Amino acid sequence: MLPEALLGQQAVGIEAVAQGGQVGHRACITGSAWLGTRRSRWRHLAQAANHPAKQTPGDDAMTTSKIAFIGLGNMGGGMAANQAKAGHAVAAFDLSEAALERARGAGCTPVASVAEAVKDADIVITMLPAGPHVLKVYSEQIIGAAPTSALLLDCSTIDVDTARKVAGLAKEAGYAFADAPVSGGTMAADAGTLAFMVGCDEPDFAHIEAALEPMSRATFRAGDHGAGQAAKICNNMILGITMLGTCEAIGLAEKLGLDPVKMFDIVSKSSGQSWSTTTYYPWPGPVPTAPSNRNYDGGFATAMMLKDLKLAQDAAAKSGASTPLGAQTEALFQMFDGLGYGGRDFSAILQMLRGKLDELPKL
C-alpha cells in the first residue's frame, strides 16, 4: 500500500487504487488493429466530441463513451465532470469519499475499485501524483483488466522514463496509450479549457484528440511516447521561474512605494506580462479568480510545483542541459515548502519574499 502522504495536491486515493480502484477511458488501438467497425466507431466518437451539447446520457450507444476516471483531486475532479457534461458515462474512482460525492454531483458514477471502473471502459483516464503511482496502477490494475480496445490516457505529470515504460507495457499488452499531461490549472480544469501535451504513436492522435476534447481548448502532439511529459516539465519550469520573477517584482514595487494593483495595470499591458501576471496575479484584487484572493487556498499547491521543478532538474542533469534559473527556482520553492507551506498555492511564495509569512496560515 502506498502512503497517503504521497498523494500531495491531487488527493487521489492511491491506497484504494493500490487495493484495486479504477476508472476507464475511450478506446483506441494502434496500427492494423484499427479496422472495419472500429474505424467507423472512432469517426462517430470524434463527431460526437465536437458536438458535446447534443449528447445526453441515454443517447444511442455509439454517441456515448464509457470513460473510467482515476484521480479526482483538484484537477481530476473538474476534468471528470466535463466528460460527464459532454454526455459520456463516467465511472469515477478516488480514495476520498468527499471527492467521490463531488463527482456524483457532477454527473459521474462513483465506483469502489479500479477493476469495477475499467472492466468495460472505452477510455481510461488517470490523474495521479507521481511516476511510481502511475506505474503501479497501470501495471497492476489497468493493463489486463481493461478491454484491450480501451484507449489509455495518463494525464499525470511524471518523469519521461516512467511514461515510456508504461507506454511499453501497454503496447506489449495490445493497448493504445498516451502520456497527456495538462496545463492551465484548476480554473481551466473546471472550465474544460486545458491545454494537453501528448506523447503517442502518430496514427492514434486523432482518436486521442477526440477523447480529450470535452476537457480541452488545445491539444498538441509533442511527439512519441514521453514527449508529452518532456513538454510539460519544460513548460512548468517556465511557469515557476516567471511566477518567482513576478513575485520579486511585486515585492520590489511595494518597497519603492508603488501600488501592486497599479503595477498589474502597467505590467499586464507591457513587456513584463506573463500568465503569472494576467491570469494568476499573486496580489489580491486584479484577477478575481486567482488564489491570492482566497489567501492562497486551492489552486496549484507549492508541493506540486516543487515536484515538477525537481522533475525538470532531474531531466536537465540526465540530458546535460544547463538550467541555472530552474535550479534557483527549485531551491526557493524547496525552502518555502520546507517552512510548512506546501499545501498553499505556489503563488503564495510572494509572502515569503515580502517577509510576511506570519500573516499566512499553514495548511
Task: Please list the active-site residues.
Answer: 232
Q: Compute the distance between CA of residue 127 and CA of residue 4 in angstroms, rounded to an integer.
A: 15
CB 15 within 8 A of CB 30: no
Q: Which of 108, 102, 126, 36 is nearest to 66 (CA)?
A: 108
- Sequence-distant (6+) residues with CB within 8 A of 252 are none
CB 72 within 8 A of CB 126: no
- With cell 493504445, the residue in question is 176
CB 178 within 8 A of CB 209: no
- With cell 496509450, the residue in question is 177
- Segment (H or E) for 91: strand 89-93
DSSP 8-state secondary structure symbol assigned to residue 356: -
Query: Which residue blocks in 218-280 are alpha helix, DSSP H?
Result: 227-255, 260-267, 275-278
